[in-house]
Structure 1
């Protein structure tokens, strides 16, 4: 173990001040995101008594911006300073979050207000995420993209592991809207960390053509790429189904099983622990199976195991353990899948096209989430939460199977960059 720690400390990424500040800022933002997401669901379900369809609509609003401005955001980010974009997005998220406890104190908090806040958070997240993903090759050379994404995925999993648990504890101590203050503080720390980055950015894209032309160039690049476009199509379908799973699980836990918000936070936190192990062991899977098979196998396994979560309603006494256990396994494999496919995309994309490529994928992944969220909420109203979860999980598994027939699935090596194992 001490040898592994020494290697980690001596790694070029660890010695990179720019990457470490980006990592710190992303970690803080991920914890805040998880606390805020849990608080939003708890407020809508327990305080504002939202129906299943309204919960689905709320989740749809949170990701609607990816559908509306996801593509132009990529062209804009390629023109602008990515560091400044991330800082501005964080400031906008802080302002939106603080408005919730203020409205609560003034006794004027409504579902409409919550939806407006969710929409602004989604809009800010569009720009932050596109800029952040495009910024990784700036602070970590393509030789270390996989390692950089692995560490950033650890941040995501730490946020998933600690955020819901912290949020659940807070919701048991203070009123749900006040938990938004903690979320705002994490974004404030994220802003400070990113502001501390001093690495000069590469020359930004000069707008020699119209915004529409640049958007079309980004879409055409993805559509014409033999590896990216088939992967793009499968990821979009899987994301639509994943949005439905994310919407229905809190309803299943809070309403069907009658658990508390604290219990939901603990279940989600325990489930996320698998992601930490996945981030740490991803290289072993890649070295053994190669990029292609690792993407496909990890994706299918990570989704299929979630079928145990809706089935847990038939074993109420064991339900928390079953849901958490399925979450651990799912998080483990989904982390391997996410880091691997993201690193593949960044390796094959030219630097000048990164913003538009990432925006195109974000448009596909997050842009379809409003549709999946709203459709799953509506479906649950008709057939019940359990049956609706079975349907969306089946769609997600089918998307993973289809991924096995793409050119990316046939990549046998551990990396596309020569000299990297």
Structure 2
């Protein structure tokens, strides 16, 4: 038996219901799982968020803060390289600015849930302004660079404060929108995140060419503007359960993620695809000396995943109609129809995460079959597009699973994703060293195996789908 009493809309009739929850789940857990999947599939995504001023102010402030943060991601190592003339120093500064992504997310999630989301955003952004100002003060006042130790410390602190801000902002959004608008709200933030990353890195490089302190001054301005937007946002409704010990709250956040059938499998799957994406980038970088590509083209190819991500999140309001058109075009009794079921596109058992896995297979096949930089760019674009859709679904479901403890659940999830980003280049370098020209082929085989497992293992497939029986 694969079904519980929870009702899901069927493919045959929008008003019909199907009892479908993963086997082995009973009671509240089964009903909750199916309801959450259904809420994403039937969400009101009509675009009414432009009338929600509280949400718009938060969204604008987060976009400004993200642009500023990504500007510093480029500016810190460039400053170290310029004033110390040491690539090693630049590398250490870049490492210090990214290290909080591995060390801070989990404890920060607990503290953000304790302290309140809007309050954390205000304090984090204010302290980031002070940290950045302390970096450029010696250059502006005494025309001498800050010591390397200070630059390392401030890069780490500023990166840690950004972790606090991003967790608080993600956890605040659900209190500002109606439940039916949540998927659309998450999609808005996903789009702005990808665009902000692309803009921030470009701005950092351009402003560094103008003056050493210019990227840092622009960050201060954007952070102050972000703080101003929070003046128009009310504090979230506050209801906090009795405080447990710190370690118990960490375990609570991890438990809510790993005990939930969908979130646990989705987190592992997206972590693996992130490793493969970063490994593919490293394989491409290793091949650059033999390609003789223009630097601008290299930049465009590496940015393709961000462009795809922004467009993918923008498709969220039309995701159901697009999938339905593909399914209807295959006809009722064809091999193509069976294929759409296999990759999780049929409404009865639809799974964006299954589609995500097979899109990765297709993207790596493009690189393997056609080879060359254009194939790499197309693959990165496709991966970014599909990955963004998956991110929106995962975050939407997290909100329903963990009200009151969102930040700590987000913290554990982001630790996994940042760990995958750090691990991916090492995997890519190892594949190049061992398999040389066959590195992409090995990566593609691994992705086919991963997609195959989540497709044919019934418990995994049910966890990633709307709960329909695993039959064609």
TM-score interval (norm. to shorter): 0.7 to 0.9
Give the corresponding residue for 2:250: 215
Give the corresponding residue for 2:388: 335
Give the corresponding residue for 2:26: none
C-alpha distance in structure 1 between counterparts of 2:214 and 2:438, whole Å: 32
Normalising to structure 2: TM-score of the pair? 0.67
C-alpha distance in structure 2 between counterparts of 1:123 and 1:141, whole Å: 31
C-alpha distance in structure 1 between counterparts of 2:427 and 2:90, whole Å: 11
Counterpart contact for 2:275–2:427, Cα < 8 Å: no
Query: How far apart are 1:193 and its partner, in Å?
Result: 1.1
Deviations 1:297-349 (A, max 9, x none): 2355358647989999x96xxx5x666554433332222222122222223x1
Q: Please, which of 304, 307, 317 is the counterpart of residue 273 of structure 1?
A: 307
Normalising to structure 1: TM-score of the pair? 0.74
Query: How far apart are 1:368 and its partner, in Å?
Result: 5.2
| 1:245-284 alignment runs, 5 A limit | 272-284=306-318
**RCO greater where, 1 or 2, for CA within 8 Å and sep 6 or more?**
1
Q: Please, which of 220, 224, 231 is the counterpart of residue 184 of structure 1?
A: 220
C-alpha distance in structure 2 between counterparts of 1:112 and 1:311, whole Å: 48
C-alpha distance in structure 2 between counterparts of 1:257 and 1:45, whole Å: 25
C-alpha distance in structure 1 between counterparts of 2:243 and 2:130, whole Å: 34
Counterpart contact for 1:253–1:259, Cα < 8 Å: no
Q: Which protein has the bigger helix share?
A: 1
SS of corresponding position for 2:238? coil
Counterpart contact for 2:364–2:444, Cα < 8 Å: no
How many residues are aligned here? Answer: 392
C-alpha distance in structure 1 between counterparts of 2:307 and 2:99, whole Å: 29
Cα distance 1:228–1:330, how it changes in 2: closer, same or farther (>3 A)? closer
Counterpart contact for 1:244–1:392, Cα < 8 Å: no
Counterpart contact for 2:46–2:317, Cα < 8 Å: no
Deviations 1:219-238 (A, max 9, x none): 22222222222223333444
Cα distance 1:212–1:344, how it changes in 2: closer, same or farther (>3 A)? same
- Structure 1 or 2, whichever has the larger Rg, is 2
Counterpart contact for 1:303–1:396, Cα < 8 Å: no
Query: How far apart are 1:149 and its partner, in Å?
Result: 0.6
Cα distance 1:140–1:120, how it changes in 2: closer, same or farther (>3 A)? same
RMSD of aligned C-alpha atoms?
A: 4.4
Give the corresponding residue for 2:8: none
Give the corresponding residue for 1:195: 231
Give the corresponding residue for 1:294: 352
Give the corresponding residue for 1:142: 179
Find out whether 1:411 has 2:445 as its counterpart.
no
Question: Structure 1 stretch 141-150 or stretch 207-216: which is displaced more?
Answer: 207-216
Give the corresponding residue for 1:229: 264
Give the corresponding residue for 1:416: none
Cα distance 1:115–1:408, how it changes in 2: closer, same or farther (>3 A)? farther
Find out whether 1:364 has 2:416 as its counterpart.
yes
Give the corresponding residue for 1:34: 70
Cα distance 1:239–1:109, how it changes in 2: closer, same or farther (>3 A)? farther
List runs of 5+ in structure 1 lacking aligned partners.
1-7, 414-421
List runs of 5+ in structure 2 lacking aligned partners.
1-43, 324-344
Query: How far apart are 1:243 and its partner, in Å?
Result: 5.6
